[in-house]
């Protein structure tokens, strides 16, 4: 994958995570800076990357639509269904990259979405399984493997 492709994916993931409140505006600005360094360059991206940490939480919402449009990326309104699905995929990619364990991944998904989001229902069930490992007939490694398989499917969605 070319560095600009990876930077665009990382920016898109940060935007999705921002849309569900998983990361703050300064994280999105940081991803915009990384995208500029990687070779993506549009006027809107430059303005977004120029935000200070103090400005980020206030200005990101207004600056994102234009910057993302110029790059051909999706803007996810706060707490929208498309943003939730994209955020789940972004979290799956982060877990697969080793940023957190499979059990931490299922816990984050379960706490945020419970059993209400069809896309993550199996992950919520697997989080429940982690809680009952000592009473069941499955090992942690078996549950981890199933979480990893689910995460690979989710990561491939976008």
- Residue 158 clears pLDDT 70, i.e. is over it: no
Decide if 146 is inside a domain. Answer: yes
Determine the Cα–Cα distance for residues 21 and 28; give it in Å rounded to an integer. 11
Is 44 in the same domain as 103? no
Range of the domain at 123: 81-155
pTM beyond 0.85: the answer is yes
Is 66 in the same domain as 87? no
Q: pLDDT tens digit string along 77-128?
A: 887 888 999 999 999 999 999 999 999 999 999 999 888 889 999 999 999 9
Decide if 21 is inside a domain. Answer: yes
Q: pLDDT tens digit string along 23-51?
A: 999 999 999 999 999 999 999 999 999 99
Decide if 36 is inside a domain. Answer: yes
Is 57 in the same domain as 92? no
Tokens of 54: 């103090």
Is 46 in the same domain as 95? no
Decide if 76 is inside a domain. Answer: no
Is 17 in the same domain as 39? yes
DSSP 121-148: HHHHHHHHHHHTTTTSS--HHHHHHHHH
Model confidence at 59, in pLDDT bands (50, 70, 90)?
A: very high
Tokens of 76: 């996810």
User: Domains in the chain: how many in total?
Assistant: 2
Q: Is 27 within 8 Å of 101 (Cβ atoms)?
A: no
Strand residue runs (E) in 6-127: none
Decide if 104 is inside a domain. Answer: yes
């Amino acid at each position: 994958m070319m560095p600009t492709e990876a930077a665009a994916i990382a920016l898109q993931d940060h935007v999705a995570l921002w849309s569900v409140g998983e990361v703050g505006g300064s994280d999105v600005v940081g991803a915009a800076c990384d995208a500029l360094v990687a070779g993506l360059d549009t006027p809107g991206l430059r303005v977004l990357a120029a935000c200070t940490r103090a400005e980020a939480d206030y200005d990101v919402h207004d600056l994102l639509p234009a910057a993302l449009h110029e790059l051909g990326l999706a803007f996810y309104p706060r707490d929208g269904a498309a943003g939730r699905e994209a955020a789940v995929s972004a979290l799956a990619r982060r877990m697969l990259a080793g940023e957190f364990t499979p059990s931490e991944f299922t816990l984050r998904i379960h706490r945020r979405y419970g059993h209400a989001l069809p896309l993550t229902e199996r992950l919520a069930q697997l989080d429940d399984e982690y809680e009952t490992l000592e009473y069941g007939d499955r090992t942690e490694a078996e549950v981890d493997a199933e979480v990893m398989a689910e995460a690979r499917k989710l990561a491939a969605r976008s």
